[in-house]
Amino acid sequence: MAEITAPEDRRRLVTLLSPAYLWLTLAVFLPLSAMLFFSFLTDLPQDAPDWGFTLENYLSFGESEVYATLLWKSLKLGVTVTFFCILIGYPCALVLARTIKGRARETLFLLVILPFWSNSLVRIFSWAIVLRGNGVLERGLEAVLPWDIRLNLMFTTHAVVIGLVHSYLPYVILTSYLALQAIDDDIVDAARSMGASTLTILRRLLLPLSLPGLLAGAVLVFVPVVGSFMEPRILGGRHGTYYGTVIEDQFVAVYNWPLGAALSFVLLAVVLLILGLSTPILRRART
């Protein structure tokens, strides 16, 4: 990594960086800044001429226990889903990157991401058909097993976790794969020739070297899951109320944009705080 010194480096940096960030500024940063501004208002300027500034929207987060309870519930959901995505996805990436070779690997790489190319609502409704009472899963198990099965998975937190893990698993698999595949075979062979066991190689070599990829995947799972509302609503039934559904209600049901925006920025702040706090810990774990 180079410090910028030469003017030609500076020119190259600007050329490479500015298109993406100008685009993001126009389409995301400026609109979100407007939203941030709204979150400090009593009413939207286009609706009420007597709008004014207030901290009320942020204070109401503290006043009512509901928001804090639900944010905590959503954070726990985020941790659970991320945990299962790593537990399931990392071994997959390991197999894909280290044991499978040639064309088969490319094909599997694509197969992992293809389910993503379908509509998420259709996918969630398909899960509902699988999980519901007397649905595909129960019928399937009943056909194989001799006794009656009553799983009652639908409309529980389990159903929400299953649906979300399914939706976000490809992120962890692919980012871990990208890092694992980059590790030089020679290093692994050298370690093995020095008598390191498979477990030691995994723990001392592969895991630390692939950590950046694994973490990128974990972030891409955790961050959006905390604010998710569609999967909880459809699969969670009466247990499906989360922080994201509350924000959605403020925007859709009562048109209280200032409060909805304030709740979103509290979410953003908490998520960034968690990421910020965990960075040094993870960096220490790496060395």
Partner 1 sequence: MRRPLLPLLGRAWLALILVFLYAPILVMAAMSFNASPFYQLPFEFSTRWYADMAMNPQIIEASLRSVGIALATMVIATALGTAASIALFRYDFPGKRVLQVLLFPPIAIPWLITGTAMLIFFFAIGIGRGTPAVLIGHVALALPYVIVTVSARLSSFDVTLEEAARALGADAWTVLRRVTLPWIAPGIVAGALFAFAVSFDQFVVSYFLAEPGDSTLPVLIYTAIRKGFTPEINAISTIIITVSMGIMFLATRKSSFGGSR
Partner 2 sequence: MKTLLLTSAVALAASGAVADEIRVLNWQGYGTDLDWAVDAFAEATGHTVVHEYFNSEQEMLTKLRTNPGAYDVVMINAAFTPQAISEELISPIDTATLENFAGIPASFAEDPKLNADGQTYGVPWTWGLTSFAINTEAWDDTPTSILALWDEAHAGRVSIRDDAVEAMQLGALATGQDINDIRDLDAAAAKIAELLPNLRTFWSSENDWNQFMAAGELDAATYWSGSASRSAALGLPVQFVIPEEGAVGWLDGLSIPATSEHKDAALQFIDHMIDPDFYVKWDAEGAPASANAEAADALPDDAFNKAVLGDPEVAARVHFQAPIDDETREKYLEVWQGLKASQ
29-48: which residues touch partner 2 (CB under 8 A)? 46-47
3 interacts with partner 1 by CB under 8 A: yes
Which residue in this structure is represented by tokens 């062979």? 189
One of 115, 187, 273, 285 touching partner 1 (CB under 8 A) = 115
**Between 37 and 72, CB nearer to partner 2:** 72
One of 158, 249, 278, 282 touching partner 2 (CB under 8 A) = 249
Which residue in this structure is represented by tokens 């726990």? 76
Structure tokens, 34: 């407007």
Q: Is 282 left (phi over 0), alpha (psi -120 to 50) or beta?
A: alpha
Q: What torsion, rounded to 10 degrees, do the Cα atoms 10, 16, 19, 23 define?
A: -100
213-232: contacts with partner 1 (CB under 8 A): 213, 216-217, 219-220, 223-224, 226-229
SS3 at position 41: strand
Q: Which does 32 bind (CB under 5 to 8 A by kind): partner 2, partner 1, none?
A: partner 1
DSSP code of residue 25: I
Q: Which does 239 bind (CB under 5 to 8 A by kind): partner 2, partner 1, none?
A: partner 2
81-100: contacts with partner 1 (CB under 8 A): 88-89, 91-92, 94-96, 99-100
One of 57, 241, 258, 266 touching partner 2 (CB under 8 A) = 241
> What whole-number distance in Å separates Cα of residue 179 and Cα of residue 205?
12
Residue 213, amino acid: G
The secondary structure element, H or E, covering residue 34 is: helix 30-38
Minimum distance from residue 95 beta carbon to partner 1 (Å): 4
SS3 at position 53: strand
Structure tokens, 16: 């490479």
151-190: contacts with partner 2 (CB under 8 A): 154-155
Q: Which does 247 bind (CB under 5 to 8 A by kind): partner 2, partner 1, none?
A: partner 1
65 interacts with partner 1 by CB under 8 A: no
188 interacts with partner 1 by CB under 8 A: no
121 Cβ contact partners less than 8 Å away, ≥ 6 residues apart: 230
79 Cβ contact partners less than 8 Å away, ≥ 6 residues apart: 222
150 interacts with partner 2 by CB under 8 A: no
128 interacts with partner 2 by CB under 8 A: yes
116 interacts with partner 1 by CB under 8 A: yes
Nearest-CA neighbor of 157 among 217, 48, 80? 80
23 interacts with partner 1 by CB under 8 A: yes
Residues forming contacts to partner 2 in the complex (CB under 8 A) are 46-47, 64, 66, 69-70, 73, 125, 128, 132-135, 154-155, 233-234, 237-241, 246, 249-250, 252-256
